[in-house]
Amino acid sequence: MSDPAASGEEAVAALRHDLRTPLNQIIGYSELVAEDLEGDGHARTRQDLEKIGRAARGLADLITREIQPGRIALVGERAENANGESARAANDHGVIPAAEPVEAVALAAETAKILIVDDQEENCTVLQRRLEKEGHTCVAVYDGTTALERLSAEDFDLVLLDIMMPGIDGREVLRRIKTDEKLRHVPVIMISALDQIESVVACIEQGAEDYLPKPFNPVLLRARIGSSLDRKRLRDAEQAAFAALQESQKKLAAELSEAAAYVQSVLPAPIKDGPVSASWQFLPSSSLGGDAFGYGPEKDGKFGICLLDVCGHGVGAALLSISVLNVIRAESLPGVNFSDPGEVLTGLNNAFPMEKHGEMFFTAWCGIYDPSTRRMRFGGGGHPPSILVRADGTTDILAAKGPVIGAMPGMKFASAEAVIPPAARLFVFSDGAYEIVRHDGSMMSHDDLRQLLSHAPHENAAAWTMEQLRALNSQPVFDDDVSLVELSFP
């Protein structure tokens, strides 16, 4: 069952709204006409318009005060007060409130396209004429359905929305605007009578920017519209900046992807035949990493390999690693014997001091294999020792002492030597291959990797090892670049 008291309150509110609507229109039109009449010749007319406005305001205030639930009862089509008397068209003191002074209309600092939604055409006309005088472009519609259609078809900077409308009322229009992804950022100012404050509060909680009471105060109208538009422009600027940032990140990601593809392209191809066969696995922890490596036969029949690990990640680390690798490939270090890994590391240490390369240093492991003697000369600078796996699964460590490259100019690096037995495999790698946090929270060690490699199959050992490392890693991605080169000796 409906609540009779609530129904009575709604009926009284509707009556109050209907009585005040033409008065608000009179007030609005009188102010507009008065603003258009300039000069001393129209002084008398302006005074008469001000009297009309004062009288309309006085009557509107009386309606607001007297037509309240409990003060009147609806009897047929008459409104009587609690004593059964007709409502008087005067206030308690017989004084009609003074009208607001008419001010000259100035153009708004920034203009906008505004949608006015009110079922009373006259109210729309008053608002539209006043706002267009300030330089705004206005579109007026008289129901909620048309308002939503226009908002879907056109871009508006602001909506002035009446709360009380037949059919789809202002609150429902506001709800649909604020739940539409395309429209939710359009500011909405609710239009209401002063006694509709509960509805206004509900609308603001629902996302309305502000509200305007009827009749419209020109100064308040200009201020609240200006404030709402300022906030919208700030949001638009933020969204534009965010969109530009996203576009910039998209372009940067594409460029990083191209750079990563280039790094991959300069890595050597696998070797299946010859005195040494080679394969590798390479997985940067980000788009670009600091690992790089190269290998291949030398002019004198020997076989060389070098693996680098530059500190850090990103463009700088990748550029330095590729630069160092190209220097080694071109053998462009003056006075360096490239058949001696220790001399190569000494030359790199002098050519790439960290203070001249963004405070970046790198580690390296270099080796030269002579198939005729089966001897491998090797040197290291701060790099993990390589692991030699014999045919029976036993292992040896090929370690060479030396600091990181670039940190101590003038440092001399020595070479070591090892004999490679038949059917052996040598694994050269970066520290990312074993500095892995396992699922139980423990960190893998170099010895753990040594044990893993001792059980690697003879076919596709590098790929198999990488899969094992992925399974051991507790993170979705590796914390560091992972490079793993496998050299097989018949």
Residue 424 has pLDDT above 80, yes or no: yes
Q: What is the mean pLDDT of the chain?
A: 84
pLDDT of residue 446: 97
What confidence tens digit (pLDDT) does each residue in 367-389 have?
Answer: 999 999 999 999 999 999 999 99
The first and second tokens of residue 341, run together, are: 């890994």
Percent of the chain with pLDDT over 90: 55
Residue 186 has pLDDT above 50, yes or no: yes
pLDDT of residue 261: 82
Q: What is the mean pLDDT of residues 324-346?
A: 95
> What does the DSSP assignment read for 188-242?
EEEEEEGGGHHHHHHHHHTT--EEEEESPPHHHHHHHHHHHHHHHHHHHHHHHHH
What confidence tens digit (pLDDT) does each residue in 201-229 have?
Answer: 899 999 999 988 887 788 888 889 998 89
Better pLDDT: 139 or 409: 139
Residue 305 has pLDDT above 90, yes or no: yes
CA 258 to chain CA mean position, Å: 23
pLDDT of residue 17: 64
Question: Domain spanning 267-488: which superfamily?
Answer: PPM-type phosphatase domain (3.60.40.10)
Q: What is the mean pLDDT of residues 292-303?
A: 94
Report the largest interatomic distance among the alpha carbons of the chain, rounded to a whole angstrom: 125
pLDDT of residue 96: 38
- Per-domain residue ranges of the chain: 1-102, 105-265, 267-488
Identify the DSSP state of 8.
H
Residue 198 has pLDDT above 90, yes or no: no
What confidence tens digit (pLDDT) does each residue in 85-104 have?
Answer: 444 444 443 343 444 444 44
Better pLDDT: 347 or 235: 347
Domains 105-265 and 267-488 equal at CATH topology level: no
The first and second tokens of residue 326, run together, are: 């190209």
Beginning with the edge strand found earlier in the chain, give each strand of the sheet holding 277-283 in spatial order: 277-283, 482-488, 425-429, 386-389, 395-398
Q: What is the mean pLDDT of residues 148-167?
A: 94
Residue 65 has pLDDT above 90, yes or no: no
* From 69-78, 406-415, 478-487, the region with the lowest mean pLDDT: 69-78
Residue 45 has pLDDT above 90, yes or no: no
Burial 239-273 (b: 16+ CB within 10 A, else e): eeeeeeeeeeeeeeeeebeebbeebeeebeeebee
Residue 244 has pLDDT above 80, yes or no: yes
341: amino acid identity, one letter: P
Q: What is the mean pLDDT of residues 425-448?
A: 96
pLDDT of residue 12: 63
pLDDT of residue 200: 86
**Strand partners of residue 310:** 362
Q: Per-residue confidence at 260, pLDDT binned at 50, 70, 90?
A: confident
Residue 73 has pLDDT above 80, yes or no: no
Measure Cα distances from 225 to 131, 453, 464 in Å. Answer: 10, 72, 67
Top CATH class, 105-265? alpha beta
Better pLDDT: 267 or 69: 267
pLDDT of residue 82: 47
Residue 153 has pLDDT above 70, yes or no: yes
Q: How far apart, in whole angstroms, are the C-alpha atoms of residue 481 and residue 284?
A: 4
